Structure 1
Amino acid sequence: MGKNSRIVIYKIIFWAVVISLLHLINLSNNLFFHTLVELFSVIIAYVIFLVAWESKTFLENRYLLLIGISCFFFGTLDLLHTLSYERMGIFPGGMNLSTQLWIASRYLEGGSFLIASLLLMSSRALSIKKDTSPAEKVRFAREIFLAYTGVTLVLLLSIFVFRNFPVAYIEGVGLTAFKVISEYVISLTLVCSLILLYLKRDRFENHVFRLLAASIILTVLSELTATTFTQVDDFSFAIGHYFKLLSFYLIYTAIVSTGFSEPYSILFREL
């Protein structure tokens, strides 16, 4: 058995153990389970952002830079979603507020992958020329950051201040039509981004492309699963969070872990 095969087996065993432990936690304490999974996702999102931001002056693939920057913002919405979860007692609003923040975060995530993939179709729009100055790369990163700041502020104002964000959950009834339809729209957005990513897979190392593609697929499964649960203790609710947990891990592996172990492969692919 080769080294790579052993590593894969070890990872499978590791995640089998992790998910088994999380399942046991979910059976006894749903709130603790939800908090653990969501905080893991938030931490990974922030780590990805930090790596992408610190690499902005020499990162040659703007797809990765845009996804990296967007992680900070949908990670922040995920953090607020976690803190507003029922029984946390931090924000008033119950499950509706928490579900609204979930939907806002997923729209931001799905839109980010689609925009990055659309830009990927245009070499001029996405690929930085070798003679592009660091100042121009920094300006691009700052423009993306400011754009996401504006969009995120609009979402937060709509949810917390103006309260005109559509209702996503009704106590005693369950998910609203807006929430269910939104999950399908987000899933379709992610599928479109995956198709575009596949068409331009030559921009990435093969294993990086596979990791990104698998992450998007798991995110789609998470979204579709989120349309089926009626109560937070439903099994489908836990399954959706397992998919999300694994999808963030794959993004981390593709961008952060691979970036550190094989920096020239991921950062200078365009060259």
Structure 2
Amino acid sequence: MKRLFLMIVAIAWVGLSTCPAYAEETKTEASKTEQSQKNEVADSLKTPKEPKADNVGSAQGVASVAAEKQSREVTTKETMIATIVLVSLALVVSLLLFWLVWRKLNHQLSRVYGKMNEMKTNLKYNVQKIEDLQTRISSCEKKVEALHSELGALKNDLSRLISEMQAQPVAEEIAAPPVYQVKTWYGMYESSRNGFSVKYITTDKETTSQFIIYQTSETSAEFAIIETISNDLFSGAKEACEVLDGDPMNFIKISVERKGQLMLEGNTWKVTEPVQIRLY
């Protein structure tokens, strides 16, 4: 398009530059022709023969007609040249305006096409997002339906269990066993034929006490040996103990691993399980 525009401008420039020269050349030729005709008329008048008056008048009339005709032809040529120049200029201006308008329209169309492509891309992206959302919504709806089904099944199971529980007879309440308050006693043991028995039990802690007794019921109790007992005191109670580690004849401290068990037989507490100890 740029090449075509340049060619049109060049043609118009050549036409504009050539037309004045052609007009000037035409004017020169017309003036030369008119001058030659005048010279011929003058030569004919200078001849020795005296022409008649009507011949002289006719010659002058012919010369004036020829000059007028020549001037008309020159004027016509000049008018044609001016018309061609104006038409060429109008054509050049029209082509220039057309090129400018076409260029602007092309630029606008390019922008419109760019926006259309961008809108198409955004539309495709939005459509994809909508499809993804629809897929997620469908998945959520399926999950909700599954949960409704599970809840319905659980509701039915719960209703059945409630009905079964209501149909069962009410069981009699079982009396809770009595709770005995743990009592802490102190006591000495003595040997007997039926094992070991508590010689006496007191609630007062004495220096000669060897065992701490914890009553757990009316007929049972737990006991533990005092950790600070001496060798002499331990010698009278060692048969009620199970020594796990250490020398019974040489120790300074007793550690209780497990309490022993006492059982009330008549009025006497008997050892059923010895206390387990370690000697240090």
* TM-score range normalised by the length of the shorter chain: under 0.3
TM-score, normalization: structure 2? 0.21
Higher relative contact order (CA 8 A, sep 6+): 1
TM-score, normalization: structure 1? 0.21
Richer in strand (by share): 2
Looking at CA atoms only, which structure, 1 or 2, has the larger radius of gyration?
2
